[in-house]
Structure 1
Amino acid sequence: MSIPTEHAVKSIIGSFELRIREILEGAWEDWLLEPNKSIKSARTRASIVFDFIKHRAITEFDGDPLITALPRGQTIQFLLKDEVLIRFKKANASGLGSNIETTAVLRFVDPQLMIPDLLPEILRVEVCYHLDALATKMEILTVGARDRKRRIWAYEVARPANSDVLSFELKPATSPSSGVEIRPRAKPAASEADKEE
């Protein structure tokens, strides 16, 4: 299999990106509603979030003739337009999907290895969510190609139009016509004890 180019992948999955974003952001919202999340480990969190992603993706893509769900053991991958195979992952510090190196993982991340039952020309990419430093929110969502432990390229999943623009109406703390005058605080007068020193 050849290494997928960003342009080729984007041209195939671009029309699915808003749906992919909704799946991931919805799964994170599900996690935020989870009781006792503060006592759960990072690994438990990743597993629970993945389950939310998996169920949301299955529901979202069900019945879409351009998407085939491919369950594989405890995980699931999705084949888009019979050309691009995606898997959802939490990003590690290097921006790659975090995982334990199993045979199945190596088949996905090593462009030289074949995935059973798939044509060799199928392009494989990861859709990753990147958490902020405190793991309180998904900071960025990316689509990326890799060669084992090396990221080849990645780009941010499309956002809805105008989603990154927040409008705030700024009002002055006091109106100039309110007559309020702001004065610096005067230093307190020295006490008798201070004067004797």
Structure 2
Amino acid sequence: MPFAKEEEVRKVVQPLFEDFQHIYQSAWKDWLASPVASRMQHKRVRANFMWNQLISHAKVRFDGRAGVRVDTKSNWDGVLINEQFFIRMKKAESSLLSRNYPTRAALAFHDQIQDLFGGVARLELLYVLSSDETEVEQIVLVQRHKKQILWKIDVVGDSGADTQSIIPFAPTAPTNAGPVSDRVIKPRKDREQKDGNQDRPAAGGELPT
């Protein structure tokens, strides 16, 4: 079932949303504490560092967990849930399109007509940085078909967790930057009420390279 229904995915994956938040928080904290962060010469350095830490923290978090494990399928590493959903952890732009060099394998992963893993659906758990790239603004679970986002789930906003207890994702801010509670990941719906904007379905676009 390469194509997966949002409601079916939500039912299975939602109990793990707090785990995924912890994994992404931990990876971002590792990046901020890394001596490489202040000397980064290209964004791919950060993306590679984050990918490594996401996989590392996921292995620890899900160690011994029934039905959930970090797995490698073909050339991809991700989280396999109940032998139903394979979730790849990636960085994305605000369009929610992950960044991939358009190799044949990369294009195949996003072509849901192709059954690459024997009926296992392919999903992506994406993090989106703020415009100034000082914090993780969104963690979103999506299924993508080619250049189109079929559906999306806000992992933070739909987790039911107390978002005020989330560890700040931004580096130590100047004294005029406002309280820590203004610099944590918050549900998108809270930000929309503040901004007066409405949530719009993610649209496709040109494949980033």
Give structure 2 stretches of 5+ with no counterpart: 167-178, 180-209
Q: Which residue of structure 2 aligns with residue 102 of structure 1?
A: 103
Give structure 1 stretches of 5+ with no counterpart: 169-197
Q: Which residue of structure 2 aligns with residue 81 of structure 1?
A: 82
Residue 88 (structure 1) shift: 0.2
TM-score, length basis structure 2: 0.71
Q: Which residue of structure 1 aligns with residue 22 of structure 2?
A: 22
Q: Which residue of structure 2 aligns with residue 32 of structure 1?
A: 32
Q: Is the 8 A contact 1:68 1:80 kept in 2?
A: yes
Q: Which residue of structure 2 aligns with residue 92 of structure 1?
A: 93
Tell me which amino acid in the other structure corresponds to 1:155: I
Work out the percentage of aligned pairs sharing the same amino acid. Answer: 26
Q: Is the 8 A contact 2:129 2:137 kept in 1?
A: yes
Tell me the C-alpha RMSD between the 2 structures.
Answer: 2.2
SS in 1 for 2:69: strand
Residue 73 (structure 1) shift: 7.1
Taking the aligned partners of 1:79 and 1:28, their CA distance within structure 2 comes to: 22
Q: Which residue of structure 1 aligns with residue 118 of structure 2?
A: 119
Q: Which residue of structure 2 aligns with residue 143 of structure 1?
A: 141
Residues matched between the structures, number: 164
CA 1:11/1:135 → structure 2, altered by over 3 Å: closer, same or farther? same
Taking the aligned partners of 1:150 and 1:87, their CA distance within structure 2 comes to: 17
TM-score, length basis structure 1: 0.75
Q: Is the 8 A contact 1:12 1:84 kept in 2?
A: no
Moved more, 68-77 or 90-99: 68-77
Show CA shifts across 1:170-192 (max 9, x none).
xxxxxxxxxxxxxxxxxxxxxxx
CA 1:72/1:2 → structure 2, altered by over 3 Å: closer, same or farther? closer
- Give the structure with higher Rg (CA): 1
